[in-house]
Structure 1
Amino acid sequence: MKMTGSVMYGISFLCILAIANLSDVCAEETRENRILSHSLEIELFLKEHKLKAVDHMRVSGKNEERFSCLINKSFQVASVSIFGKKVDFQMLSGRSDGALQNSAFGHVGLMEILIPPDLRKSNEIVFDIEYEGYIFEKPASLELEDVGKTAGTISEEGVYLSPACAWYPDVTGSLAAFQVTIVTPAGYEAVTHGALVSRKVIGDKIYAAWEERNALDECYLVAGKYKVAQLKHHDIDVYAFFFPEDQGLADTYLNAAARYLDMYQNLLGRYPYKKFAVVENFFQTGYGMPSFTLLGNSVVKLPFIVDTSLGHEILHNWWGNSVYVDESQGNWCEGLTTYMADYYYKELKDSISAEEYRKDICRKYTNYVTDKNDFPLKDFRGRSDQATRAIGYGKTAMVFHMLRRMVGDEVFYTSLRRFYKEKIWEKAGWEDIRRVFEDTGKMDLSWFFEQWINRDGAPFLMLGKTEVKKDKNGWTTTMEIIQRDNVYRVSVPVQMELEGGNYHTIVELKEPSQSVCIQTQTEPRSLKIDPHYEVFRRLSLEEIPPTIDSVLGDHKKIIVYPTGGERSSQEAYKNLAEFLSANRGAVKPDIEITEAEIGQKSLFILGGLTENKLTKRLMENLPGDFSLDEGSFVINKVRYQEKGDALLVSFRNVKNRTKGFILFAALSADAIKSVGFKIPHYGKYSYLAFTDGKNVDKGIFAMTDGPLHRSLSR
């Protein structure tokens, strides 16, 4: 499964840790065994949070005495049969006998099936495994995405079954075809991977059969009270499984999906599935599985989702959901999908939007990644926080951007089309990507992949001494470009403003300090190094405006909650402080903040003038177009004074420019609750204004020229 930019790839990291040992045992005991196909018949009992199923599981293997697979250890396995004859089996990891499980993460067990001697020479065996069990892991939050990730749940609100809850027998690393027949109560529609083979209503039940003949690495199942809309786009069935109240969105999503399918088929090759479905969820998700995406009921209403996340999830059907990730080499697909979707849409819009996106990638890396939490791309598996996202999504996207600049568009897209064609339905890693690009471009790229995939870190560029001399041929500009801390081989754009025009060139850097000479016919006025952020690098303080991320990314920050004001607001601010500190940092009341901390720490200050003791003291640091009074505030000359209004503004710590302050003040407890938990999603902004939970103003403070820009005028 692939998830949107706000969540992570694959089975949740917590679940991976929980089942890692069992998976190793399963793989060790079944080296020669693998699952070829599942034919699942499953009935869902929503009120009881229960399923009953039989899996006709076809496996390969020869001369094996036993077959081991993973399954939810709370399930009751009624029988295992081969050709109608029952065979012995045992659960090796014990069983939890409770009817309802509060969490599926700890309930993955190992089942061992004994193979009769007369069948051990068979190349293939079909096991008929009959089982039943309860899965009810209520989402920690129905409104907040990425809070209390849910492995699986069966309820009248909806059904979500992921491989993490082991709802079907599996062997780690298997790539198998799936045929799934799902029985639901009337009024509930079910969807999984592949094409819809049949749908029948018999009495008060619906029987839906889905089939995917190509090999999948995992299987998800979703059901809900859906109304289904459908569009036939060439030979692809496009569906919208939406709740009745959101049917008005169906056509928008169907038509947009058709456009994205055309876009990526033209870029990469034929769409690998017979259907694509947009499925609405009753809790907040942004998941992309083979042939469908699962979007929360609040997420689908966001106006930007159709223009961003939907295309991202459709593209995952090429990267990650048909060309699978060989995780032993690191997860390349999230960054490639980010580059060819989120970034690509900015590039199609205009060059300024694309430049801002590249700068934002470098900014997030600079703000969130330190020597202590950095790691090479070969070690990226999935996102768990802002730092892992900045590396696995952002850095990877920029690596593909630098690769594209180096080899050119023709080689870049030809290589990706070859990669897709050659590795579809297989697991692939960075080495496969390198080989395809080297073969297509007829060049050695071992140094590039060694540097960017196997090393952690990023370049930090500085402009050293510069000198301009007039000679008989015109003007000679000599500049020193310094790489501080770590040395990389990078191609750096250089732009010079000349009398009467501009001059552009590319400088190849390989040394800690490199002198570069440029000859021009007319006098140079100014010099800029990497002015459009084409190189993945750490940014200098002067290149980063004060933003939400600049404080949230500081692991030593302090979230300061107020001890004054109404009790309901105090409680809301304190809850928000605990939420914001999840990204590390301390939480303290305003009365405990010391003078040393004010001068040396980044502070996230919650509360207005009569609530937080630090607010009035730091008011003088607010930018000129901002002011805060008791019961109102002004942003960009607009006054806000209603109970639903809230303000956030960031600014530098004047006593320590490397640190920042953020002030967040809302005019009621309800405004705190409706706005506060959205703050991390606006990380790149310097200021925000909200009315009744809706963002009505936002912006990024302008920066002066940084240390890679220098005036050359005499």
Structure 2
Amino acid sequence: MLRRWLTIFGLVLLGVESAQDRRPRIDVEHYRIDAEIHPRTQSLSAQAQVRFVPLEDITAAVFELNNGLAISRVSMEAGGKEEEVPASRAQELDVRLNFPATLPKGKPVTVTFAYDGRLAGLENSPVEGVNFGWIGPDRAFLLYPARWFPVSGYTADRFSMELNITMPAGLDAVASGIETSKPTADGKVVDSFRYDRPSFPGSIAVVSTKPDRVTSEGATTTLYFRGPEKEQANAYGDDAGKIVSFFSSQFDLPPSANLTIVETEEHAPNGYAAPGIVFLSPRGIGKKVNARLLAQEIAHQWWRVLVSPASRRHLWLDNGFANYSRMLYTEHAVGRAAFEAEVNEAGIEALTHDDIRIIESDTLPDYSPELLAVASNKGALVLHMLRSVVGDEAFFAAMKQFAQKFAWNSATTADFEKIVSDVSKQNLQYFFLEWVESTGASEFKLEYTIFRLGQGKGFRVMGKVSQDKDTFRMPVEMLIETEGEPERKTIEVQGTASEFSVDTFGKPKKVILDPDHKVLRLDDNIRVAVAIKKGEQLAEQGFYNEALQAYQRALDVNHNSSLAHYRIAEVFFLQSNYQSAANEFRESLNGDQEPKWTEVWSHINLGKVFDITGQRERAVNEYQQAVRTKDNTQNALDEANKYLQSPYQRPRRSDER
């Protein structure tokens, strides 16, 4: 609980700091970067010319630069001569420049940074545990979030770029824009790139392998995969073409006619998108095409590269839009059931941090569970609910118009709201106030009475929907199961109590409110799922006691939740508390067995407990019961058969070695 309060307190402080952050306001327009990659020393040396326009009279400017890179000199032209600019590390990532004289508003300035440093691991990453920049003996990747060049207005300030990458002969660079290449006199090679549109270029890869090229649906994808992942290059290229074709039909033409996909390294983010390039980690690529990840990263070609949020307050216009676009592709390629499963999954994730408004995304750390829940998952749910409110025709017309009107520019939530309101001819202020600028989710309570209408006119259902938010307003669908065909009606839920009256032809048997879960809301099943998801997030971060508390909250609502018992057992198993783990795996087997895979894996893990405690006969019995389920979820049967052949051996902990 203490960690939880510290986390909340930290977010509050972060918000205060954000509000008080009075950095001098500038607009970066263009970079010219000359960088040399040194594979042997896993380092780079670079000179970056940055042209920016002060948005007010300033005497200083703040840029972000990777902590592993040291600045040797900063200079600018002043009065026809080059003048050195004092630079200091103000705090994490920040480099503060103090100019010798006031720079007037609106007059372009060019500043040159000379810097170098080693990028060989995770120690200087802006996000703990995630590697955005790495240089190896025969390959490298440097992503925009690594801040491997001086960045201002991270994820918000769009820019163009000229980029020259020098490296040993035999290596090739991959970056956004028009490419030229030439050898140098000392046996090296310089790959040059020019990207003239304002966007977010500057993510690069250095490769030593030859690419595969795949043409699908009229688009050519160049893939730099290696090792076992290379066998999947054709499949990934084929799917990439299909995804680009689908998004083009929904959102207009992509910013780049063709696409490049580059494999990164194990500790890199699963995926990252730059103009015309998608970076995927080996884990993200997996053993078969990860269509969900691929679709989400390709969607960023529209919702980041083409149109981006004007500030991090509006980050859902990037993350949420790409996430929902990925779901739309699932609906198109796999079907409605798979789409609805992804929507429900996103809703559960969104509710794990429902005390933070979408519009407060600027207070959340990059790549944090909170940001994922709020900007990506709740953002996607906002679009899904908006689609149900305005209808498919208006929704997709608005999405396309948004991409067209703000192409190669930044936008705000208000800009998007205006377009959807104009296209749908509805005043949607209430919708955006509820879902973007407010927190929490409602729980509906339904009361109704059925009346028979005379003279064969059918039946009338009269009732009331109650919920606890006085400002709530939302059209909600109602499914009425009758003795004949089910009937669907839409009612307006407004305020804490909304009365309704609907007529049906068939005799009603049951009334279900929001049957397809189109509204982000709470009920007991959702509470259980949210508590379990929260516990999983805490356990993944190593906060086992807090995770156990979250799982217990799920059991307080549904004591028969097999998944909650299973997750508790996992934590006990990790803590070597084998008796408690065995008890909880048994409780999981005796529960509701939702999801079904908890049965086979509970038997397998019970077998492991018995092997560890020297009870081989009982272990074999559990493995045999696992095999009898015929459930091979996550290769469960292979695992069970392996331990039928030889006992499970507990891995030695580091403190036992």
**Taking structure 1 as the reference length, what is the TM-score of the superposition?**
0.71
* Partner secondary structure for residue 389 of structure 1: helix
Match for residue 386 of structure 2 among 383, 386, 403: 403
Which blocks of at least 5 consecutive residues in structure 1 are unaligned?
A: 1-12, 96-104, 560-576, 588-597, 648-665, 674-714
Q: Does 1:108 align with 2:74?
A: no
Q: Does 1:150 align with 2:116?
A: no
Counterpart CA distance in 1 for 2:466 and 2:303 is: 37
Match for residue 466 of structure 2 among 477, 482, 493: 482
Q: Which amino acid aligns with 1:637?
A: R
Partner residue in 2 for 1:77? 72
Paired residues for 1:136-147 under 5 Å? 136=119, 138-139=121-122
Partner residue in 2 for 1:637? 628
* Partner secondary structure for residue 495 of structure 2: coil
State the Cα distance separating 1:111 from its structure 2 match: 3.0
State the Cα distance separating 1:435 from its structure 2 match: 0.9
Q: 1:223 to 1:622 in 2, by over 3 A?
A: same
Counterpart CA distance in 2 for 1:495 and 1:130 is: 63
Partner residue in 1 for 2:510? 526
Partner residue in 2 for 1:266? 249
Match for residue 492 of structure 1 among 449, 472, 476: 476
Match for residue 93 of structure 1 among 76, 80, 88: 88
Partner residue in 1 for 2:594? none
Counterpart CA distance in 1 for 2:573 and 2:370 is: 31
Counterpart CA distance in 1 for 2:648 and 2:328 is: 37
Paired residues for 1:335-346 under 5 Å? 335-346=320-331
Counterpart CA distance in 1 for 2:353 and 2:73 is: 50
Q: Does 1:605 align with 2:569?
A: yes
Partner residue in 2 for 1:39? 32
* Partner secondary structure for residue 379 of structure 1: helix
* Partner secondary structure for residue 342 of structure 1: helix
Partner residue in 2 for 1:669? 650
Counterpart CA distance in 2 for 1:94 and 1:619 is: 52
Partner residue in 2 for 1:565? none
Counterpart CA distance in 1 for 2:429 and 2:520 is: 18
Counterpart CA distance in 1 for 2:93 and 2:586 is: 55
Q: Which amino acid aligns with 1:135?
A: R
Counterpart CA distance in 1 for 2:520 and 2:105 is: 55
Counterpart CA distance in 2 for 1:83 and 1:497 is: 77
Partner residue in 2 for 1:614? 580
Which has more helix, going by share of residues? Answer: 2
Q: Quick check: 2:483–2:508 contact (8 Å CA) kept in 1? A: yes
Counterpart CA distance in 1 for 2:216 and 2:504 is: 56
Match for residue 519 of structure 2 among 515, 525, 535: 535
Deviates more, 1:609-618 or 1:422-431: 609-618
Counterpart CA distance in 2 for 1:533 and 1:642 is: 32
Paired residues for 1:274-673 under 5 Å? 275-283=258-266, 284-285=268-269, 286-305=271-290, 307-327=291-311, 329-332=313-316, 333-346=318-331, 348-366=333-351, 368-369=352-353, 374-381=355-362, 384-469=367-452, 471-472=454-455, 473-484=457-468, 488-538=472-522, 540-542=523-525, 550-554=531-535, 579-581=541-543, 584-585=546-547, 604-606=568-570, 612-618=578-584, 621-623=587-589, 627=603, 628-629=606-607, 630=610, 631=619, 632-633=622-623, 634-635=625-626, 637-638=628-629, 645=639, 667-669=648-650
Q: Quick check: 1:335–1:395 contact (8 Å CA) kept in 2? A: yes
* Partner secondary structure for residue 464 of structure 1: strand
Partner residue in 2 for 1:657? none
Counterpart CA distance in 2 for 1:489 and 1:62 is: 40
Counterpart CA distance in 2 for 1:360 and 1:62 is: 42
**Taking structure 2 as the reference length, what is the TM-score of the superposition?**
0.76
State the Cα distance separating 1:432 from its structure 2 match: 0.3
Counterpart CA distance in 2 for 1:363 and 1:248 is: 35
Q: 1:232 to 1:356 in 2, by over 3 A?
A: closer
Q: Number of aligned pairs? A: 585
Q: 1:375 to 1:543 in 2, by over 3 A?
A: closer
Counterpart CA distance in 2 for 1:515 and 1:642 is: 51
Q: Quick check: 1:643–1:668 contact (8 Å CA) kept in 2? A: no
Q: Which amino acid aligns with 1:80?
A: S
Counterpart CA distance in 2 for 1:354 and 1:274 is: 27
State the Cα distance separating 1:177 from its structure 2 match: 1.0
Q: Which amino acid aligns with 1:482?
A: S
Counterpart CA distance in 2 for 1:202 and 1:23 is: 52
Q: Which has the higher contact order (CA 8 A, sep 6+)?
A: 1
Which blocks of at least 5 consecutive residues in structure 2 are unaligned?
A: 1-9, 550-558, 591-598, 611-618, 642-646
* Partner secondary structure for residue 75 of structure 1: strand
Q: 1:228 to 1:22 in 2, by over 3 A?
A: farther
Counterpart CA distance in 2 for 1:64 and 1:495 is: 60
* Partner secondary structure for residue 303 of structure 1: coil
Counterpart CA distance in 1 for 2:305 and 2:182 is: 25
Counterpart CA distance in 1 for 2:61 and 2:181 is: 32
Counterpart CA distance in 1 for 2:56 and 2:312 is: 29
Q: Quick check: 2:52–2:110 contact (8 Å CA) kept in 1? A: yes
Q: 1:672 to 1:377 in 2, by over 3 A?
A: farther
Q: What RMSD, in angstroms, separates the aligned Cα atoms of the two structures?
A: 4.3
Counterpart CA distance in 2 for 1:39 and 1:644 is: 54
* Partner secondary structure for residue 645 of structure 1: helix
Counterpart CA distance in 1 for 2:172 and 2:20 is: 32
Q: 1:522 to 1:237 in 2, by over 3 A?
A: closer
Counterpart CA distance in 1 for 2:584 and 2:277 is: 50
Q: Quick check: 1:195–1:274 contact (8 Å CA) kept in 2? A: no
Q: Quick check: 1:466–1:480 contact (8 Å CA) kept in 2? A: no
Q: Quick check: 1:141–1:148 contact (8 Å CA) kept in 2? A: no
Q: Quick check: 1:481–1:513 contact (8 Å CA) kept in 2? A: yes
Match for residue 238 of structure 1 among 221, 240, 243: 221
State the Cα distance separating 1:326 from its structure 2 match: 1.9
Which has more strand, going by share of residues? Answer: 1
Q: Quick check: 1:89–1:112 contact (8 Å CA) kept in 2? A: no
* Partner secondary structure for residue 32 of structure 2: strand
Q: Quick check: 1:46–1:155 contact (8 Å CA) kept in 2? A: yes
Q: Does 1:168 align with 2:163?
A: no
Q: Which amino acid aligns with 1:530?
A: D
Counterpart CA distance in 2 for 1:455 and 1:167 is: 36
State the Cα distance separating 1:583 from its structure 2 match: 9.6
Deviates more, 1:505-514 or 1:347-356: 347-356
Counterpart CA distance in 2 for 1:518 and 1:120 is: 65
Deviates more, 1:623-632 or 1:394-403: 623-632
State the Cα distance separating 1:461 from its structure 2 match: 0.9
Q: 1:671 to 1:84 in 2, by over 3 A?
A: farther
Counterpart CA distance in 2 for 1:448 and 1:475 is: 32
Q: 1:47 to 1:583 in 2, by over 3 A?
A: farther
Q: 1:668 to 1:342 in 2, by over 3 A?
A: farther
Per-residue displacement from partner, 1:459-511 (whole Å, max 9, x unpaired)?
A: 21122243444643332222332214565211111111222221111111113
Q: Which amino acid aligns with 1:294?
A: F
